[in-house]
């Protein structure tokens, strides 16, 4: 039996990276998927791929960090599928790699809004639909940066720490409605975002890019980064009935690197 059979799942940031891979896995596991992102061409392509593979999926072009956008995402799911019972808050602009004295207010607001405000807004609008459905699962894709920090990434670290705190608070608040709330905290995840961050760290520290990349790999006893598939598999589990008694947790996925 498929892990997410008949679930109606919103995945934000579904246009690329973890969100795209997660959308594909959720569809394979039987979920009806609302793929949400700001970039029309990319998110429409994600939904089209799922539909072509036989899944039920729609694309919603919206900014999850705005009230109108977050409301539109949830409303689209309810209109198409009759309910929403699963939400993965994955949308996040990683923001720049800069020293604090160079980090502008616009940098801060863009990063914090895209990561943290979007998590708050999508949860705010999805919870009534979950209560009506009689069940729910919220998974927030945070980062180990929110637990132990990364130099020159003040906005990203702050936003991700905020997601973890929100996870704990919402789990306590929503348990009585049969809604679980958990967070996944990846370490380095292979892909375009970590490549961009490594280049930024190498530049600001005046070291070679490959030397900077090696420092990330050296932290892992497995000598590798995690993959979008690793994160997606855990999210699917946490949204399934197998995890019905797991709530209020922040689970690291670090390729063996100690979580603290």
Catalytic residue status for 156:
yes
Q: How many CB atoms neighbour CB 164 within 10 A?
A: 17
The 3-class SS string of 19-33 reads HHHHHHHHHHCCCEE
Q: Are 181 and 245 in contact (CB under 8 A)?
A: no
Sign of the CA dihedral running 14, 15, 18, 20: positive
Catalytic member of 120, 152, 156, 168: 156
Helix (H) or strand (E) holding 80, with range, is helix 67-81
Question: What are the residues whose beta carbons fall under 8 Å from the beta carbon of 234, sequence distance 6 or more?
Answer: 184, 251, 253
Residues with a catalytic annotation lie at: 156
């Amino acid at each position: 039996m498929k892990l997410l059979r008949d679930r109606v799942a919103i995945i934000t940031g579904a246009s690329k990276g973890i969100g795209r891979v997660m959308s594909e896995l959720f569809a394979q596991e039987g979920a009806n998927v609302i793929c949400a992102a700001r970039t029309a061409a990319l998110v429409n392509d994600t939904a089209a791929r799922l539909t072509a593979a036989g899944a039920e999926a729609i694309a919603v072009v919206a900014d999850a960090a705005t009230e109108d956008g977050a409301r539109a995402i949830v409303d689209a799911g309810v209109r198409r599928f009759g309910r929403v019972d699963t939400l993965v808050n994955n949308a996040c602009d990683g923001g720049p790699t800069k020293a604090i004295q160079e980090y502008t207010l616009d940098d801060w607001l863009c990063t914090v809004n895209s990561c943290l405000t979007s998590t708050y807004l999508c949860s705010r609008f999805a919870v009534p639909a979950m209560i009506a459905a009689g069940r729910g699962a919220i998974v927030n894709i945070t980062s180990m940066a929110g637990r132990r920090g990364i130099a020159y990434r003040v906005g990203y670290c702050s936003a991700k720490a905020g997601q973890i705190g929100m996870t704990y608070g919402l789990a306590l608040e929503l348990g009585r409605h049969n809604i679980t709330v958990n967070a996944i905290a990846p370490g380095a995840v292979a892909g375009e975002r970590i490549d961009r961050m490594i280049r930024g760290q190498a530049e600001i520290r005046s070291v070679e890019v490959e030397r900077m990349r090696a420092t990330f790999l050296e932290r892992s006893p497995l000598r590798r980064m995690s993959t979008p598939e690793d994160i997606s598999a855990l999210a699917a589990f946490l949204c399934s009935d197998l995890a019905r008694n797991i709530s209020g947790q922040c689970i690291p996925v670090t390729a063996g690197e100690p979580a603290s």
